[in-house]
Amino acid sequence: MKVYISADLEGISGMVSWDQMKEDTPEYTKAVELMLKEVNAAVEGAVKGGASEVLVNDSHGYMRNLPIEGLHPKANLISGFIKPLSMVQGAEGADLAFFIGYHAGVGTRASICDHSYSSGSVFRLSINGKDFSETAINAAVCGHFGVPVGLVTGDQETVNQARVILPGVLTVATKVGITRFAASCRHPLEVRKEIEEKAQAALIKFKEEGFQPFLVETPVTMEITFMQTAKADVAELLPGTERLDGRTLIYRGKDILEVYRALQALLFLARSVS
């Protein structure tokens, strides 16, 4: 049985500020250590639950945060940037997915570093008329490949959002947000213990009753509102986009995979201007 883990950093216990999560900042080394230990807890739980293969995809920032020499020996690592499927690179072919260290969607109150794929570019992101967080859109891409999500960890609002779209998913709340940059954080040892237990439980539940992949209706319509008009100006250069107003574009695709790849292209274009 193959378990796939997409690992972000904002949802890790102890993380409350961008300054902790950027390379070459004083707190970054500690942040990566905390991230690694929560990921390893998920791997250990998966192995105890019967996983024969575990693949971890580093999904934060430039996606080269996790030191491979410290990774659980039963796991392989996808590292680096650019990846065609970004945060869900390598998900196809897995039996079950875990999202570790995730954060809530843009505009979520009392949630650490809330954003949807780009904190500097995206003001709002919706799929088929519904606001989508990274958890939602990544789960939808996994669902496209027939891979259900069995475990989501992150702050309280993140796991609340996950439960709405992923009935039956197991979750671990690592902290409770106070504002965007303040939270009541659980002790890392307690968080890791629960992650390991829930990861093992997710595999047992998968074998006994299963999880349903998260699917979106096709064709798929994505609406994205950018922070500034200049970002919409350059994003509009992607063929197939439709400009609704100063900051908002629509892109229509035959399925979520096509729309997801378009999203990556739109974000690369948008980041070139401010």
Active site residues: 115
Q: Helix, strand or coil for residue 201?
A: helix
CA distances from 209 to 48, 97, 168, 215, 237 (A): 18, 16, 10, 18, 46
Nearest residue to 36 via CA among 8, 16, 62: 8
